[in-house]
Amino acid sequence: MKSTDLINQPLHKSFIHYVSLSLFSMLGLSLYILADTFFIANGVGQDGLTALNLVIPVYNVLNGLGLMLGMGGATLYAISQGKNEREESRQIFTSTLIIGIGSGIMFTALGLLFIDPLLQMLGATGNILPLAKNYFGIILLFSVFFVVNNIAVCFVRNDGNPQLAMTGMLVGSLANIVLDYLFIFPLEMGMEGAALATATSPIISLLILTFHKRFPKRQLAFSTVNWKINPFLSTLSIGFPSFITEFSSGLVIFMFNIVILELSGNVGVAAYGIIANISLVCVAIFTGIGQGIQPIVSVNFGAKKHTNIIRLMTYGFSTALILGILFYGIGLVYSDNITQWFNSENDAVLAAITKKGIALYFMAFLFMGLNIVSIAFFSAVAKPKQSFILSLLRGLILVIPLLFILSSFFDLTGVWLTLPFTEGLTLLLTTYFIFRYFKTSNRNLLE
C-alpha cells in the first residue's frame, strides 16, 4: 500500500488493517519471553523462572534499542513518503539499518565483557547465577538479529506491507514455542535450550521479511548514505520514547525484583515473573495499537490532513480502553488458571502471592493503553517532546519513588499497587496534552 493509498482509502479501513496486523506482530514479539516463561517454569522449575525474570530487564533494553531505531527511522521514512521524497526515504532506511547492525554488535561485545558483574547487579546469586548466565550469554550472541528484526518490521510495515511484518513476527514466535518445547523437554537442554529457541525467532522473522523485495508496491530500497547529523538526531528523538517505554519496563522489573527479594525472597520474584511476563503481552498489544496507527498518522501528517489525524487518535484511544478493560476482567476471573499454568511444583505460597498480585497489578491496564498509544501518536506527528515527557513520567519519574513509598507502607501489596498509581497519574498529563493538541489542530483548521 503506497502513501497515496493510505490517504485515499477510507480511514476506518486503514485503521483496522494496520492496527490488527501490527497488534498481532507485537503479540508475536512478546510471546518470545512468555513462551520461555511457561516452558522454563514447567521444565526447569521455580529457580529457572527466577533466573529468567532477573535477566529480562537487559532483554528489554535490547528490544528497546531496536524499537527506537525502527520506530524513529520508519516514522521519518513515512513522512518522507507522504512528501514524495523517495531518495530521502531510502537514505533513512539504509542509514538506520547500518546503525542498527553496529549497535547490536556493540551490545554483544559489552554484554559478554561484563556478564558476571551485570548479572550479579541484577540480583542473580547462588544457584540462580549459573542459570541466568546460561540463558543470557546465548541471547547476547544474537543481539544484532533482535535489533535488526525490530528495524525491518517497522520499515516493512511503513512501506505498505503490514501483512508480511505480521507474518514474520508470528512465524518467528511460533518457531520459538515449538523449539522451546523441543529443546527443554525431549532434548533436556534447560535454560540454554530456552535461550536458543528465543534467539532463533528473529532470524526466522528476518528471513520471511526478505520476501518484501517481491512486493509489487515496494518503495523500500537501499541507497548511498550522505551521513548527516540532523536526520540521525531526528531518528533518535522520535524513536526515543519507544526506547524509554522498553527501558522503563526493564528498569521497573529490576527495581521490583530488588524490593520483592527483600520482602519475600525468590518465591516472590518467581510470582512477579509470572505477573510481569503476562503484563509484557498486554503492553505489546497496546504498543501494537500505537505502532499500527503510526504509519497512517505520519502519512496524513505529511499530507497535512489534520481531521484524519484527530479521527485516528480517537480510534486508537477507544481500542486501547476497551482492551484495557478486557485484560483487567480476564485477570480477575481467571487468576487461578493463570497461576496454575506456571506453577508446576504446586507451591501454595507462590499461588497465593501471584493471585493477589494479578488482582491489583492488572488495574494498571485500565490506564496503560491510553498512555502508550498517546506516546506513539505524538511521535507519529513529530512531537517527540510530549512523547518523551510521558515516557519519562510513567517509566522513571513516578514509578520508582512510588515503588519505595508504597512498599514501605503496604509491603508486597504496595508493590502491586505501584503500576496502577503510576499509569493513573500519567494519564492526567496525557489528557492535558491531548486536549491541547485538539485545540491547536482546530485552530489550524480554522486558519
- Give the residue, 425 or 114, on which the prediction is more confident: 425
Residue 129 has pLDDT above 90, yes or no: no
Query: What percent of the chain clears pLDDT 70, i.e. is strictly above it?
Result: 84
Range from 273-277, 390-394, 418-422 that averages highest in pLDDT: 418-422
Confidence of residue 445 (pLDDT cuts 50, 70, 90): very low
The answer to whether the CB of 363 falls within 8 A of the CB of 378 is: no
Give the pLDDT score at 103. Answer: 85
The tens digit of pLDDT for each residue in 90-121 reads 777 777 888 888 888 988 898 888 888 888 88
Of 176-185, 420-429, 437-446, which gets the smallest average pLDDT?
A: 437-446
- Using alpha carbons, select from 316, 55, 78 the residue that is nearest to residue 194: 55
Q: What is the pLDDT of residue 423?
A: 95
Separation between Cα atoms, residue 39 and residue 20, nearest integer Å: 28
Mean pLDDT of 203-217: 83
Alpha-carbon span 441 to 314, nearest angstrom: 14
Q: Which of 319, 438, 372 is nearest to 15 (CA)?
A: 319
Whether the per-residue pLDDT at 185 is higher than 70: the answer is yes
Q: Is the pLDDT assigned to residue 446 strictly greater than 60?
A: no
Nearest CA among 60, 12, 15, 13 for reference residue 33: 60
Q: Which residue has the cell 548466565?
A: 133
Return the HEC string of 117-167.
HHHHHCCCCCCHHHHHHHHHHHHHHCHHHHHHHHHHHHHHHHCCCHHHHHH
**Who contacts 85 (Cβ-Cβ below 8 Å, separation ≥6)?**
none
The pLDDT of residue 398 is 92
Integer CA distances (angstroms), 214 to 164, 184, 218, in order: 11, 37, 8
pLDDT reported for residue 380: 75
Q: Is the dihedral of CA 29, 52, 143, 206 positive or negative?
A: negative
User: Tell me, what amino acid is at 100?
Assistant: G
pLDDT > 70? residue 255: yes
Residues 3, 81: contact at Cβ < 8 Å?
A: yes
pLDDT in tens, 362-377: 999 999 999 998 888 8
What average pLDDT does the chain have?
Answer: 81
Q: What is the pTM of this model?
A: 0.71
**Residue 47 grid cell:** 529457580
pLDDT in tens, 327-364: 999 988 888 888 888 777 777 888 888 899 999 999 99
pLDDT band, very low/low/confident/very high, at 235 (cuts 50, 70, 90): low
Does 153 or 159 have the greater pLDDT score? 153
Express each pLDDT in 52-94 by its tens digit: 878 878 887 888 888 888 877 777 777 776 666 666 677 777 7
Q: What is the pLDDT of residues 308-332, one digit of tens each?
A: 777 888 888 888 999 999 999 998 8
Cell reading at 250: 526493564
**Is the four-CA dihedral 269, 271, 277, 280 of positive or negative sign?**
negative
Residue 1: its pLDDT value, please? 46
Selected residue with higher pLDDT from 380 and 359: 359
- pLDDT for the residue numbered 234: 65
Segment of 20-29, 92-101, 242-251 carrying the highest mean pLDDT:
92-101
Confidence check: pLDDT of 10 > 80: no
